[in-house]
Structure 1
Amino acid sequence: MTRFTETTDSRGTKEVHALQPGSQSGAFTESPTPLSELLKAAPTPASPSLLSINPDWDHQKPTSVSTITASKMERAFILLMATVVLSVTPEVKAVLTNANNTQFNITRTGCGVTKLCVETPADCDPAGNGTCLFGSVNASTPMPPNGVEMSFQLSGNSSGYIALGLTKNQTEGTTILLICAKINETFEFRINSRNNSDGTLSTMDREVTEIRGTVDGEMIQCEFDVPGLNASSTRNAADTSYVVLLGSGSVNGSTLGPFNVRFASDLLNLADPSSNLSPPASSGNKCGLHSHVLAFLVSILTMSALRTV
């Protein structure tokens, strides 16, 4: 243990000297070097003190430990909140569910009666041998404001993908693009949003269920259900009126190329299977025309008979 002693020289200057332990127990000898010189020569501590955090220490008043601690806590809180915000930001991702039963058959059976059908070329049969891009939709009972569940069928030939689109305006806004693709020789379903102005495809957050699909060479066929469809932005009613698009596109690896529209309908009520059928000619007009012709022929025969008599 070191002790200290204070001395005064002949000029009245006071100096503090350290007393070092001597060889005998309890004995101390006075160090010839003043304490002020010993402190100057002392090495700088390896770890800085809390007060050395301030880079402008030489030009500012010392900051209290409590102030520095509060500043650290504030920075830690900001960092924590930023981490929480990043961790809870939802990823835009569709919820896709495959059907347990993978067997299905796509035909024209029920077109105009139980399901609305669109196709190109006109009246082509997806069950036939010719090229046919075919789509159909069967809508459930509207349930506002939850929209309508619709069951779709899609069939066509492509080395990449085929798709059915639903939109209110083909040149404005966006299109819900329901895609059945051939990727690495296997079937894959996707749902995208298409920008109708520039054709850009982006991921869409929507649920699709009961997905079934097959790939046979370039023949792609699929079935799927989409719940909660509503063409109305206000959702105060179940609006089932859409322009239906049929088309195809390329696939590069797993990246989809642009959607090429091959068919575009008028605005159709998808809940009405017959909404795209031409109304039949009025049978009353035909009957009226036949009666006029018959009366004319009778009059000619009567005049001929009178002249003969």
Structure 2
Amino acid sequence: MTMTVAPTIAVYETVVTIEKGITKVAPTLTENESVAPTETTTVASTETTTVAPSLALNESAAPTPSGNVTAVAVTPTPAVVATMALTSITAVPLMESVNWDGCSVTRLCVHEPPGCDPSSNARCLFMSAEQQIGRNFSIDLSGHSIGYIAATFSTDDSLGGHDVTYICAADGSTVVFITATLHNDFLILTLSEMSNGKGRVDGNKIQCSFSVVLPESIMRVNNLAAALHTGSYNATSGALGTPNTAIMTNQVDFTNPNTTVTNMLTSNSTTATPTTTSSYAPTLHHSLLQTLLVTLAVLGLAML
């Protein structure tokens, strides 16, 4: 049977012809490209099958010829949205240990247990936030974990509603930074602004420092709630384990270093700073000396 195929105009059209066990793929056409009229084509047998092109949404198909050619309809499919690959960032070495210097003076600090020093206590879970300008803050984290330590910031008291989370994960002896959002106890990888990343791993103690722009609360004030977590990390696959939350704070003003922060999980104040008697000794000795001198002067006058 002799059949003449009329010219067609298609968008990204692909025609697959199966003839006597041989598969032939016609050239892919670009948008608005037309096919020149074909010569008279003889179809050898009814084994020849023409597959209609995949259609974009709202695209109409050209009529298919009748005869010994079988037309197979293809259901239109929506376009697939490409997603950006999320990668971790390797931190540069942190030369000095994270410590409590400046706590309650220049930076807001959170400890668990209260008052622990992250530079000497390997199991001290610690975070400090020091305002640079506006909502730009320098963050320090320290904690005992075989995988990662993380800090979450929430604009309300309901933690876990897609709240921005900054993660420091141990990859051997180095630290990698990962950003995510915390939602219903799950970490969902995302891209967030993070800079000046430094980190160190000492056994199971992970420490890191970085700069971020903290989220703005719905009331346009500086009050935020924070949470500190630990969890497992697979350095090969990049998989993050479920976060174990050890500190969950009330809403506090992060621009006020001296504000009192309470761990809502333990009802303990997490900002307690240990005091030492040495700072008070000079004043005490000075008072005793003054008293002694006054007493001697009185006795000297009495003897006259």
- Seen in structure 2, the aligned counterparts of structure 1 residues 138 and 128 have a Cα distance that, compared at 3 Å, is same
Residues 106 and 96 of structure 1: CA distance in aligned 2, closer, same or farther (over 3 Å): same
2-structure distance, mates of 1:133, 1:191: 19
1:94, 1:207 within 8 Å by CA — same for their partners in 2? no
SS at match of 1:103: coil
| Corresponding residue of 2:242 | 258
Work out which of the residue numbers 135, 153, 156 in structure 1 matches 2:140. 153
Note the alpha carbon deviations across 1:72-100, whole angstroms, 9 max, x for none: 25966466999xx757x45264795855x
Structure 2 SS opposite 1:118: strand
Give the corresponding residue for 1:275.
Answer: 259
Letter in 2 for 1:108: W
User: Is the aligned partner of 1:91 residue 2:84?
Assistant: yes
3-state DSSP of counterpart to 1:152 = strand
SS of the equivalent of 1:105 reads: coil
Match of 1:106 among 98, 105, 108: 98
Which amino acid is 1:222 matched to?
C
Q: Which residue of 1 aligns with 2:222?
A: 240
Any residues of structure 2 matched to 1:50-69 within 5 Å, and which? 50-51=5-6, 65=7, 69=8
Counterpart of 2:190, as a letter, is: M
Distance in 1 (alpha carbons) for counterparts of 2:89 and 2:254: 22
Q: CA deviation at 1:272?
A: 1.1
Partner letter of residue 151 of structure 1? S
Distance 1:189 1:171, change over 3 A: closer
Distance in structure 2 (CA, Å) of the matches to 1:172 and 1:251: 20
Structure with bigger helix share is 1
Larger Rg: 1
Q: Is the 8 A contact 1:106 1:153 kept in 2?
A: yes
Matched residue SS, 1:266: coil
Q: Which segments of 5 or more consecutive residues in structure 1 lack a partner in the other structure?
A: 1-43, 52-64, 143-147, 280-309
Partner residue of 1:128? Answer: 120
Name the CA distance, whole Å, in 2 between partners of 1:241 and 1:95: 29
Quote the sequence identity (%). Answer: 28
Counterpart residue number, 1:139:
131
1:217 maps to 203
The structural deviation recorded for 1:212 is: 0.5
Q: Say whether the 8 Å CA contact 2:230–2:243 is kept in structure 1.
A: yes
> What is the RMSD computed on CA atoms of the aligned residues?
3.4
Asked if the contact 1:230/1:240 (under 8 Å) is kept, the reply is: no
SS in 2 for 1:140: strand
Q: Indicate the residue corresponding to 1:5 in structure 2.
A: none
Distance 2:88 2:131 in 1: 20
Partner of 1:118: 110
- Native 8 Å contact 2:151 2:228 kept in 1: yes
Distance 1:192 1:94 in 2: 11
Structure 1 match to 2:153: 166
1:49 aligns with 2:23: no
What is aligned with 1:33?
A: none
The equivalent residue for 2:169 is: 181
Return closer, same or farther for 1:136/1:108 CA change in 2, 3 Å cut-off: same
Q: How far 1:161 moved relative to its partner?
A: 1.0
SS at match of 1:107: coil
Cα distance in 2, alignment partners of residues 241 and 226 from structure 1: 16
Which residue in 2 is equivalent to 1:191? 179
| Contact 1:106–1:127 (8 Å) recurs in 2 | yes
Q: Secondary structure at the match of 2:250?
A: strand
Give the distance between the partners of 2:160 and 2:181, measured in 1 at CA. Answer: 13
| TM-fit CA distance, 1:129 | 3.7
Q: Which residue of 2 aligns with 1:57?
A: none
Q: Which amino acid aligns with 1:159?
A: I
State the 1:140 CA deviation.
2.1
CA distance in 2, matches of 1:205, 1:220: 22
Aligned length: 204
- Opposite residue 84 of structure 2, the aligned amino acid is E
1:204 aligns with 2:196: no
| Amino acid in structure 2 at the alignment position of 1:139 | Q
Distance 1:256 1:74 in 2: 41
**CA separation in 2, counterparts of 1:171 and 1:271?**
20
Q: Check whether the contact 2:142–2:205 (CA below 8 A) recurs between aligned residues.
A: yes
3-state SS of paired residue (1:150)? strand
Relative to structure 1, the CA distance from residue 193 to residue 172 in structure 2 (aligned partners, 3 Å threshold; closer, same or farther) is: closer
